[in-house]
Chains A and B, each alone.
Chain A
Amino acid sequence: MLAVETISKTFNPGGVNERVALQEITLHLKPGEVVTIIGGNGAGKSTLLNCIAGVYPVDRGRIVLDGKEIHCQQEHTRAGSIGRVFQDPMLGTAASMTIEENLVLALRRGRSKKLRRGVTRKERELFRERLELLGLGLENRLSTKVGLLSGGQRQALTLLMATIAMPRLLLLDEHTAALDPKTATKVLQLTRTIVEENKLTTMMVTHNMEQALSFGTRTLMLHEGRILLDIDGPQREKTRVPDLLAMFEKASGKALGNDRMLLA
C-alpha cells in the first residue's frame, strides 16, 4: 500500500540552522492499516507526514503509494490520493468560502478543475447526508461561510473534506490537539467512525499516549528522526503507557523529557 524506503530529510543543510529531521526512515503500511505516531517535540513526526504528502522533497529514499513512486511528484499532484487534516483548525478550510464550496473542492480532490458549475444539486444532497453524520447541525448551513464556525466545527468539516473523496491514504497531524477536551473527544470519535467505515489506511500523529495505544492497529515512536519503536498485534495489546515510557528511555538512553506527552 504505502512503502517509505530509507527517506532522509535535513532542513537548511550546511547552514547554521541545519536540522536533521528524518534519518533513513523505512516504513511499510498494509491496506487499511491504522498507525498512530508518537514522539517528543521535534522528533520528526510532522516532517514525516509532510514528506509523504509532498510539502517537502526528500533528500534521499523512495516513497511508493499503490505501486506508484510518488516522491518526485509535486504536492498538488499527490494530493489526489492523500487526505490531510492539520493541527490548526484554521488551516484545513477556506474561511471566506461557504461550507458547500469547501466541500465541493474536497470532493473534486485531485481532479483537474473545469469551467463547469461548482456545486450541483446532487452534490448538495450528498453534503447534507455526510454533514448530518457529524451531528453538528451543519447540514442546514451549507451556505454559511466557514469562518463563522467554531474551531471544533471547522476541524470536523476538515475531517469530512479529507475523506469525502476516498483518499488512498489519510494523514492526521495532531488534529485534535488544538481543540478543547470535549470537542477533541468528539472529533476523535468521528475520526474512528470514518476510518473504520471506509477502511482507510491512516497515519495519525498524537501526543496522547493513551490514544496512541487505543486508536488503530499499530503504533510508531519517533525520536530524532528515527523510528524507535514499532509495535502492533498482541505485543501492542499488552503495552501500557508506562511501558511506552520505559521503552522510550531504554531505546533513547534518556527520560522522555516532554511533559506534553506525559500529561496524556
Chain B
Amino acid sequence: MSASIFVGVLELGLLWGIMVLGVYLTFRILDFPDLTVDGSFTLGAAIAAHTIIIGYDPWLGTALALVGGALAGLVTGFLHTQLRITPLLAGILSMIALYSINLRIMGKSMISLLRMDTIYTDIISWGISEYFSVLILGLTATAVVILLLYLFLETEVGLALRATGDNEQMIRSLGVNTNTMKMIGLSLSNTLIAFSGALIAQKQGFADVGMGIGMIIVGLASVIIGEVLIGNLTLLRALVAVVMGSIIYRLVIAIVLQLELVAPTDLKLFTAIIVTLALSSPVIKEFVAGRGAREKGEKNAGC
C-alpha cells in the first residue's frame, strides 16, 4: 500500500476517532445507546460548512458546530430524562428531527467547500506543510480531546457520570441527580461527534445531508475493535484504544476497497456484518451478558 493511502487512513481514523470517543462516552461509559449520532455528526458538518460559505472564519464555524452538537445532545437528554422516552427512541427522534434541521441549515442537500478557506488551509498559511496539515491537526485535536476527556472523567462530576452508567441506583443513593449526569454525558458526547463532523467536512471539502448515515455503526465497530485489540484496563487506555480502533477500522476499509473485495456501495453492509460478527463473538457475548445480568439484579433486589 502506498504511503499516501496510509496517511489518508491515519487522517480519517483520527478525525473520525473523535466521533468514536463520543460514541464510547454514551454507549460504554454512560450505558446509554444514543442514536443521535447520525444526526449530530451531520449537524457539525452542516454548521461548519454553512458558516464557511457565508464567509465567516472556519474556526468560528468549527466552534459553532460544537455548540450545535451540545444542544442536540441536550435535546435527546431532555426527551429521555424529562419526557421519559426510552434512550433508543429519544435518540432516533433527535436524529430524524436533525435531518430536517440539517437541510435547513445547509439550504440544499450538499455544500461544496472547494477552494474555500478551511481550518486546514488556515494552518498551511501558518507554514505547516500541506501534505501533513490534516494529519497534524487531526493528531492535535484527538490528543487534546483524549486528554481533556480523561481529566474530566477523573473529576468529581466525571466520577459521578461514570457511576451513573455503572450503577444508577447506587449513585442516586449517594446523592447524585442521575438525570443531570445523563444530560451532561449526552451533551458532551454529541459535542465531540459534531466536532468530528465539522473536521471531516472540511477535510473532504463538502458537507452532505446523508454523510451521517450509519455513523453509529462505524462508531460501534471502532469501539469494539479498540476494546478487543487494545483493551480497556484503565480509562486512559480505553480512550486511546477506541481511537486506535477507529484507525484500524479505516485501515480495514482501505484494504478491502484497495483489493476490490467489497464494492464501495456495499461498504455499509460490510460494516454491519463486521459489527454483527463482533457482537456475537464469545468475548463480546460475555461482556454483554455480564452487563445484562447486573441490570436484572438491580431491578430485583432492594424493593
Residues of A within 8 A of B (CB): 46-47, 50, 53, 55-56, 74-77, 79-80, 82, 84, 86-88, 90-97, 101-102, 104-106, 108-111, 113-119, 161, 173
A80 with B175, Cβ < 8 A, contacts A91-B297, A95-B294 known: yes
Q: Is residue B146 within 8 Å, beta carbon to beta carbon, of the partner chain? A: no
A76–B159 touching, CB < 8 Å: no
Q: Which of A75, A86, A111, A117 contacts B155 (CB 8 A)?
A: A117
Residues of A within 8 A of B163 (CB): 94, 97, 101-102, 105
Looking at B41-49, B92-100, B116-124, B164-172, the stretch in contact with chain A turns out to be B164-172
Bound: A94/B162 CA distance, A: 9
Q: Which of A91, A116, A161 contacts B169 (CB 8 A)?
A: A91
B156–A75 touching, CB < 8 Å: no
A113 with B162, Cβ < 8 A, contacts A94-B167, A95-B294 known: no
A79–B156 touching, CB < 8 Å: no
Residues of B within 8 A of A (CB): 152, 154-160, 162-163, 166-167, 169-178, 294, 297-298, 300-303
Bound: A119/B173 CA distance, A: 20
Question: With A53-B173, A115-B156, A117-B155 given, can you name 6 additional A-B contacts, CB distance below 8 Å?
Answer: A76-B176, A86-B301, A105-B176, A113-B157, A115-B155, A118-B155
Interface of B, helix, strand, loop or mixed by DSSP: helix
A113–B160 touching, CB < 8 Å: yes
Q: Quote the shortest CB–CB distance from A130 to chain B (angstroms).
A: 16
Identify the closest chain B residue to A114 (Cβ).
Answer: B156
Bound: A84/B167 CA distance, A: 14
Question: What are the 9 tightest A-B residue pairs by CB atom distance, in nearest-first order?
Answer: A79-B175, A110-B175, A88-B301, A94-B166, A113-B156, A86-B302, A94-B163, A113-B157, A94-B167
Identify the closest chain A residue to B176 (Cβ).
Answer: A76
Count contacts between A and B, CB distance < 8 Å.
109
A97–B159 touching, CB < 8 Å: yes
Q: Which of A47, A117, A119 contacts B303 (CB 8 A)?
A: A47
B173–A108 touching, CB < 8 Å: no
A118–B294 touching, CB < 8 Å: no
Residues of B within 8 A of A115 (CB): 152, 155-157
Q: Which of A56, A84, A97 contacts B166 (CB 8 A)?
A: A97
Identify the closest chain A residue to B168 (Cβ).
Answer: A94
Q: Quote the shortest CB–CB distance from A55 to chain B (angstroms).
A: 6
Q: Quote the shortest CB–CB distance from A99 to chain B (angstroms).
A: 13
